[in-house]
Structure 1
Amino acid sequence: MLMYHPAFDANHCLYRIVSILHATTGTQINWQLLRMLDFYYLFPSQLKNIKPWPREIGKLKIQVMKIPDQFEDLSNPARTFFELETFQKTAVLELIAKGVLSKSSFDKGIMALEPDTLPTAYKALLDGDDFLKSDAFEVITKALPSTKFNGSNGLKFRSGLMEYIYDL
C-alpha cells in the first residue's frame, strides 16, 4: 500500500518553508529554528509536548491545548525531526537557487525571503490557506520565534527535538 505524508514531499516542504518565512518577515530565523518551526507546522499537536511551556508565551498554552491530536502515531518525534532535515535542506537550497531566499542572509545563518519575489497569485494562495490563519500557525510563527532558543531553558531543550547541552 502506498502511503502519502506531506512530511516527505519536497514540494510541500517548499510551501511550508515559504509560508513560515512569509509569516515571520521581520524576525530573524536561523536554520535550526526554521527546522523546528517546520516540524511543528507538520505536526501541530506536538506543540503540546513542549515542557515546560515557556513563560514568555504562557497565555498561548490554552490555544495549544485546543489543537486536535494527530491521527498518525509519532512514537519518536526526535527521529522524525532528524529525518526531515534532508528534505528541508534540499528545499532551502532550491529556494536560494531560484532567488526566493536571500543568499546573503543565508550565508550569515539567517533564513529570509528576498523582498518582492513572491508573485501576487502565490501571496493570494497563502492568504487563502486556512491553516495559516489557525491558532497553531500563530503559535508556530509568532510565539515560538520570540522565545529563548538555546541552552537549558531554551526551546531546544523544552521540545526534546535537538541537542542543547553544547549551546553557549
Structure 2
Amino acid sequence: MLIYHPAFDAYHCVFRMMALMKLVPELEVDKARLLDFYLAFPSAINDIRLPSTFAHGRRLAKSLSNTYRDPLNPKAAFRDMSQIQLTALRNIAALGLIDLNSFEQGIVKRLQFVAPPERLGENLSRYLESQKEILSFLSNDLAQLPLRGLDGLKHRTALLEYRYDTP
C-alpha cells in the first residue's frame, strides 16, 4: 500500500523551504531542515523542550493537527527527510534563489527575492496565509533560538546530535 505524505515529497519540500525563506532570509542549513520538519509535522512541536517564554508554541502545537499521520518515530522521520531536504535546497540554489557559496558553508542565505512565476506566487501567498500561525511561531520564535550547544535547537528537539558542536 502506498501512502502519500508531503514531508517526503521533494516538490512540496521545495515549496515549504521557499515559504520559510520568504520569512527568514538567513539561517543555518540544519535549522532550515528542523523548521521544515516542524512545518510538515506541526503537532511534533509539542515534543520540543521549549523555553518557558514559548508556552504559546505548546498551545499552538496542541491546537494543530496534522491532516496526514504524525510520525511514529520523529527522529527516524527527520533522518528519512534529510536527503529530500538537502536536494530541495540544492535545487533552490540552482535556481539562484539562495547564495551557493553560503550554502556550501552550511548557511541558507536568500538572495534578493526574485518574484516567482505568477501561479507559484499565488500558491505561495495562499500557503503563507493558511499556515500563518505555525509559520509565525517557526520564523519569529523557533528560528531565533541558537542552533548549537546546550539548550540550542538541536538539543531541545533531540533530532540532531549537539554534544560535539563547536561553539
TM > 0.5 = yes
1:62 aligns with 2:59: yes
CA RMSD of aligned residues (A): 2.0
Q: Distance in 2 between matches of 1:88 and 1:79?
A: 14
Alignment gaps of 5+ in structure 2: none
CA gap 1:163/1:9 in 2 versus in 1, 3 angstroms: same
1:153 aligns with 2:151: yes
Q: Distance in 2 between matches of 1:48 and 1:70?
A: 16
Secondary structure in 2 matching 1:106? helix
> In the alignment, which residue of structure 2 is the partner of 1:114?
111
Alignment gaps of 5+ in structure 1: none
| Identical residues among aligned pairs (%) | 30
CA gap 1:72/1:63 in 2 versus in 1, 3 angstroms: closer
CA gap 1:152/1:73 in 2 versus in 1, 3 angstroms: same
Partner amino acid, structure 1, of 2:148: N
Matches within 5 A, 1:17-166: 17-25=17-25, 28-51=26-49, 53-68=50-65, 72-119=69-116, 121=118, 122-129=120-127, 130-133=129-132, 135-166=133-164
CA gap 1:94/1:113 in 2 versus in 1, 3 angstroms: same
Q: Distance in 1 between matches of 2:4 and 2:60?
A: 28
Q: Distance in 2 between matches of 1:125 and 1:73?
A: 24
Q: Distance in 2 between matches of 1:70 and 1:165?
A: 34
- Deviation at 1:156? 1.0
Q: Distance in 1 between matches of 2:32 and 2:53?
A: 20
Structure 1 runs, 4 residues or longer, greater than 4 Å off: none
- Aligned residues, how many? 164
